[in-house]
Structure 1
Amino acid sequence: MNPSALQDLNPHQDASQALRQLEAETDQLVLPLLRQLEAYLALLRQQVPHQTLQAVFVLVSQDCPERYSSLGPGERQALQRRLQALTRQSCCLLTVEHLLLLARKLQAEHQRTRQERRRKMLAALERLNGGEKDNSSGDGLILAIQEPPQEDATLTLVLPRDPQGLENWCLWLRQAMVHHLRTLSHQLNVALLNYHLIQAVLPVRLLDAVLAGDVEAMNAPANLLKIAVPIGNEDNTPQVVTCVLLLRLQDMEFAHLPLRQSRQRLQKHQKSLQNLVTRSHHWRRRLVTEQATADWNNDLQQIQSPRP
């Protein structure tokens, strides 16, 4: 935390007033952040068609030049039109409004997955405890599972006023951009497979795992994914190296200076937002602590007061 933030953490300041002040500071950040986000998306809509065709050119010219040249002129032109149509349709949806709707779907799926994991964990703990709800004998393992805090409240259609909500809003919108480009990558790969210009269409879950860093890929040019895929299910099964499209935000930002600069300006706003989030966490903890202390003292006073 920077020194200016430390100065704001006045232990004598009223926590509720501090949280209201943080909401006011967040309000002042919303408009410039939204404008920069829209500027970033405008640049992205310009770059996706150009960089997509560049990636396809690198793929066909390096991996399968003979196959591409063996296609008739009509087939090649039909492929070009198909790629451009898919890219154009996808770029039309690179807006804050559409990405927000997509982000809400991704968040709901994330919450369902988390709840399912928790359900399995509870079932495993019950089996570990012998499946007994009440073990008064003291034998076995007695565990109380507390409900995890709901850190991801459902994304609103307008920008939130609280710092944590606004930060989550930005993070999920970025994730929606990644997912949107992954979906376009898959559609383009299907088109390339139809013309036998790639060996296989990789499952979208594998693409997601690569984007998340859970699966290591081989070195490849920008917006391309080269990966060794096993042919069978056995441990010693042979592998085949496959190269497909995988459009990435970081690759596009690296290739286009204005887009990269726009991303840096966006990150500057988000850094200011992170400072507000840190201060918000402090005051929220303090508010909860003060309430618990007041409740504790009130309860003690009630039970220690002489009864009439």
Structure 2
Amino acid sequence: MSEPSDAIDLPGQLQTLTRQLTASNQELYRHVALYLQVLRQVLPQRVQQACFHLATQVHPQRYAELPEERRRQLLGQINELVSRCSSLLTVEQLVILASQISREHLRRERHERQQLLEELSWDGESPNHSPEPEPLPPGSVQIAMAPPLTGGSFLMAALAGGAEAGPDDASADDEVADEDNDGDAQDQSEDEELDDEEEPASPGDRSLWQAGRLPEDPEQVLRWMDGMELALGRRLRNLSHAINVELLRGGVSRSLLPVSLLDAVLDGQLETMAAPANLMRLPLPFGASRSPQAHAMAVLLRPVELELEEPRLRTCRRRLQQHRQEVRRMAQQFRRLQRRSRIHQAEQLWLQDIRPPSIPSD
């Protein structure tokens, strides 16, 4: 059985590819840092434009009726939120948040697996089980009256709370508004705080999110880039929600869309109507007889819209996309070399195992 001429050099090829990846990681870090730098520069203006449209085009009467001191306080609070968010838009801060999001996903997956196992092992009895119903005739189908999902009713209730009230409508109940604010706005400023009982990260996750270092495996680098995108989206979503809370407190808007709805829009689970950049207009599926055009409108900052508005961000994004393609090519080559290395190792072990055992000489 002949051995490929380049099989012996497989470890050297893998080391060469790793050195190339390590060198390109420095360039990737600069690309991400530059993107975030430009984003911090343009974010205040983009937020101001979105809030300007809501205050002057959507709710002009409400904004005009506010006292001057209250208007100034509102703008000051929004600027403070943008400043606090901008201080967290750095590579180091996003790495921390990306690590936490990764652990959140891991914890959620484990919880879902545990629920599935409990459902599969359920014996059909519960502590307060009711008497068994009478057997149905053969061929009958029993239809459960309980809804299969609880998200639908929650969605309708959330949309009902998020409907834009007309100028003559009564304002939202202050107690309900305060409860929404205190429950959701905390996510913006304390996003990096997790439970003390949170499950530890896996070794692969710890190596992926080491402070000040990028992974030395191209597959892990791609995961790193994806995690940073998730963290950036989370920061902008939190800022959007906090701004919407301040608009509610300031009296410009009279409704608040929960974070879950913002996430549903960002994930493409809900269709939205046309709206200016960095704003979201969500159609409401009820009340057609009273208001055919009923909708909810709120601030929603998204990287793609910020990039469309800012050429410098588009340039940074194009560089990141090009770098991703290069890392993906390295990952494919890395997998091929690893497979060939494993095959070569297995072949060597096979040849070793089929050799007849040596007979010790007397």
Same fold (TM over 0.5): yes
Name the residue aligned to 1:186: 241
1:301 deviates by 4.0
User: Is 2:248 the counterpart of 1:168?
Assistant: no
Name the residue aligned to 1:93: 88
Secondary structure at the counterpart of residue 205 of structure 2: coil
Structure 1 unaligned runs (5+)?
A: 1-9, 129-149, 233-237
Mapped to 2, the partners of 1:283 and 1:117 lie a distance apart of 36
User: Is 2:205 the counterpart of 1:153?
Assistant: yes
Amino acid at match of 1:255: E
Per-residue Cα deviation, 1:147-198 (whole angstroms, up to 9, x for no partner): xxx8963322211112112221121112111100101111111000112322
Name the residue aligned to 2:23: 28
| TM-score (normalised: structure 1) | 0.78
Amino acid at match of 2:75: Q
Mapped to 2, the partners of 1:115 and 1:239 lie a distance apart of 42
Mapped to 1, the partners of 2:203 and 2:310 lie a distance apart of 35
Name the residue aligned to 2:334: 280
8 Å Cα contact 1:103/1:173 also seen in 2: yes
State which of 295, 316, 331 in structure 2 corresponds to 1:262: 316
Amino acid at match of 1:186: H
Mapped to 1, the partners of 2:10 and 2:57 lie a distance apart of 62
Amino acid at match of 1:200: S
Name the residue aligned to 1:104: 99
Aligned pair in 2 of structure 1 residues 225, 119: CA closer, same or farther (>3 Å)?
same
8 Å Cα contact 2:7/2:341 also seen in 1: no
Name the residue aligned to 1:67: 62
Secondary structure at the counterpart of residue 153 of structure 1: helix
1:51 deviates by 0.1
8 Å Cα contact 1:26/1:161 also seen in 2: yes
State which of 297, 300, 306 in structure 2 corresponds to 1:252: 306
State which of 207, 226, 232 in structure 1 corresponds to 2:281: 226
Mapped to 1, the partners of 2:351 and 2:267 lie a distance apart of 48
State which of 109, 130, 155 in structure 2 corresponds to 1:114: 109
Amino acid at match of 1:182: R
Name the residue aligned to 1:145: none
Name the residue aligned to 1:144: none
Per-residue Cα deviation, 1:4-37 (whole angstroms, up to 9, x for no partner): xxxxxx9747443332222111012011111111
Name the residue aligned to 1:50: 45
Out of 39-48 and 155-164, give the one that drifted further.
155-164
State which of 210, 213, 223 in structure 1 corresponds to 2:265: 210
Amino acid at match of 1:153: D
8 Å Cα contact 1:231/1:239 also seen in 2: no
1:288 deviates by 3.7
State which of 67, 72, 75 in structure 2 corresponds to 1:77: 72
Aligned pair in 2 of structure 1 residues 117, 91: CA closer, same or farther (>3 Å)?
same
Per-residue Cα deviation, 1:83-129 (whole angstroms, up to 9, x for no partner): 1111111111111111110110001001112222333344455569x
Out of 282-291 and 109-118, give the one that drifted further.
282-291
Mapped to 1, the partners of 2:351 and 2:120 lie a distance apart of 36
Mapped to 2, the partners of 1:190 and 1:230 lie a distance apart of 24
Name the residue aligned to 1:134: none
Out of 279-288 and 87-96, give the one that drifted further.
279-288
1:199 deviates by 3.4
Rg larger for: 2
Mapped to 1, the partners of 2:116 and 2:358 lie a distance apart of 47
Aligned residue pairs total: 271
Out of 113-122 and 178-187, give the one that drifted further.
113-122
Mapped to 2, the partners of 1:270 and 1:89 lie a distance apart of 30
Mapped to 2, the partners of 1:165 and 1:209 lie a distance apart of 27
Aligned pair in 2 of structure 1 residues 72, 255: CA closer, same or farther (>3 Å)?
same
Mapped to 2, the partners of 1:77 and 1:165 lie a distance apart of 47
Mapped to 2, the partners of 1:27 and 1:17 lie a distance apart of 15
Secondary structure at the counterpart of residue 295 of structure 2: strand
8 Å Cα contact 1:199/1:242 also seen in 2: no
